[in-house]
């Protein structure tokens, strides 16, 4: 970010006690590399906690690799570029230019937030995290709103499958009503920023999430994803959100 660069620039110059025009070339080179690295790493693609093939057969290694290393990376790259432009527009007092960038921020920032949540939401079907936890706060909340685990799966699935075009299905927590519920949102709209609801579980139903494995049959992908949900993470989010 330019702001951060400026501070570092000043700090580095004071360390070497030279004006920028007199910076020794080696120092200038390393500081330029440092600034560039900082700028490039404002937001980074998060590592996955499992291998690309770990979610098979529900999601193939090919889908995971493309989804994570290409699609999510693109949101991160474009988010960083958007943040640079917003920073530049704001620092020159360009209100109109700043407003014009809000759509790109919502889309790319939402894409980064949503996918980061999504990867954490998934776990290999062989892991203990993928079993729905009995007797804890999640089961209590699910039963209170949906009646049973099966009814929750049915309602969240129906809601998610019905997304028109591209979007996400969510299991949510409302800090005011203190209850869980389900909602679907279009595009990359980030749940909390657009609704105030806390995300417990998000299901990506953009075609890039399932087309290689399920072609156009979105319901089969949504049916399979319940085998690889990391319920430990969902319950942890519920506990955090309800504090
Ligand atoms: Mn996606």
pLDDT at 25: 53
Domain match, 6 and 70 both: no
d(CA 132, ligand 1 centre) in Å? 24
Res 22 pLDDT > 80: no
Please, what is the end-to-end C-alpha distance for the chain in angstroms?
A: 34
pLDDT at 221: 98
220 assigned to some structural domain = yes
State the average pLDDT over residues 199-221.
98
Domain match, 171 and 69 both: yes
Domain match, 84 and 131 both: yes
d(CA 114, ligand 1 centre) in Å? 8
Taking alpha carbons only, the member of 172, 202, 224 closest to residue 63 is: 224
Helices (H) and strands (E) counted in the chain, each on its own, are 12, 3
d(CA 41, ligand 1 centre) in Å? 21
Q: Domain of 210?
A: 55-243
Domain match, 66 and 11 both: no
pLDDT at 27: 46
pLDDT at 4: 42
Q: Identify whether the C-beta of residue 200 lies closer than 8 Å to the C-beta of residue 237.
A: yes
Res 184 pLDDT > 70: yes
Based on the structure, what is the number of domains in the chain?
A: 2
Domain match, 11 and 70 both: no
Res 34 pLDDT > 70: no
d(CA 72, ligand 1 centre) in Å? 7
Domain match, 32 and 59 both: no
Residue 3 to residue 22: CA distance in whole angstroms: 22
225 assigned to some structural domain = yes
Residue 35 tokens read as 């600034």
Going from the C-alpha of 156 to that of each of 79, 116, 151, 220, the distances in angstroms are 29, 20, 9, 14
d(CA 89, ligand 1 centre) in Å? 29
Domain match, 10 and 64 both: no
10 assigned to some structural domain = yes
pLDDT tens-place string over residues 35-91 = 554 554 489 999 999 999 999 999 999 999 999 999 999 999 999 999 999 999 999
41 assigned to some structural domain = no
Going from the C-alpha of 43 to that of each of 105, 113, 122, 126, the distances in angstroms are 13, 11, 22, 32
Domain match, 173 and 73 both: yes
Residue 107 tokens read as 């889309």
d(CA 5, ligand 1 centre) in Å? 32
Cis-peptide, bond into residue 57, ω within 30° of zero:
yes
User: Which CATH number covers residue 62?
Assistant: 3.55.40.20
Structure-token match 């927590």, residue found: 173
Residue 59 to residue 48: CA distance in whole angstroms: 14
d(CA 68, ligand 1 centre) in Å? 8
50 assigned to some structural domain = no
Residue 74 to residue 76: CA distance in whole angstroms: 5
Taking alpha carbons only, the member of 206, 209, 203 closest to residue 226 is: 203
Res 15 pLDDT > 70: no
d(CA 71, ligand 1 centre) in Å? 6
Residue 32 to residue 9: CA distance in whole angstroms: 9
43 assigned to some structural domain = no
pLDDT at 36: 52
d(CA 51, ligand 1 centre) in Å? 17
Domain match, 128 and 182 both: yes
d(CA 154, ligand 1 centre) in Å? 22
Domain match, 74 and 27 both: no
d(CA 44, ligand 1 centre) in Å? 16
d(CA 193, ligand 1 centre) in Å? 18
Domain match, 27 and 63 both: no
d(CA 54, ligand 1 centre) in Å? 18
* Proportion of the chain above pLDDT 90, given as a percent: 83
Domain match, 203 and 155 both: yes
């Amino acid at each position: 970010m330019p702001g951060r660069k400026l501070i570092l620039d000043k700090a580095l110059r004071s360390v070497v006690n030279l004006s920028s025009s007199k910076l020794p070339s080696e120092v200038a080179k390393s500081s330029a590399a440092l600034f560039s690295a900082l700028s490039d790493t404002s937001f980074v693609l998060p590592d996955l906690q499992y291998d690309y093939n770990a979610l098979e057969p529900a999601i193939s290694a090919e889908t995971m690799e493309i989804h994570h290393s290409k699609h999510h990376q693109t949101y991160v790259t474009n988010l960083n570029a958007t943040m640079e432009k917003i920073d530049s527009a704001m620092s020159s007092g360009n209100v109109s230019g700043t407003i014009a960038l809000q759509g790109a921020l919502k889309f790319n920032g939402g894409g980064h937030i949503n996918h980061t949540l999504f990867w954490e939401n998934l776990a290999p079907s062989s892991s203990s995290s993928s079993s729905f936890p009995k007797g804890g706060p999640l089961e209590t909340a699910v039963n209170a709103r949906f009646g049973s685990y099966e009814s929750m799966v049915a309602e969240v699935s129906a809601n998610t499958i019905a997304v028109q075009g591209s979007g996400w299905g969510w299991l949510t927590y409302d800090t005011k009503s203190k209850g869980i519920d389900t909602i679907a949102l279009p595009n990359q709209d980030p749940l909390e920023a657009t609704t105030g609801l806390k995300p417990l579980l998000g299901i990506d139903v953009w075609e890039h999430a399932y087309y290689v494995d399920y072609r156009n049959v979105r319901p089969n992908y949504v049916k399979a994803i319940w085998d690889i949900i990391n319920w430990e993470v969902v319950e942890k989010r519920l506990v955090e959100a309800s504090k």
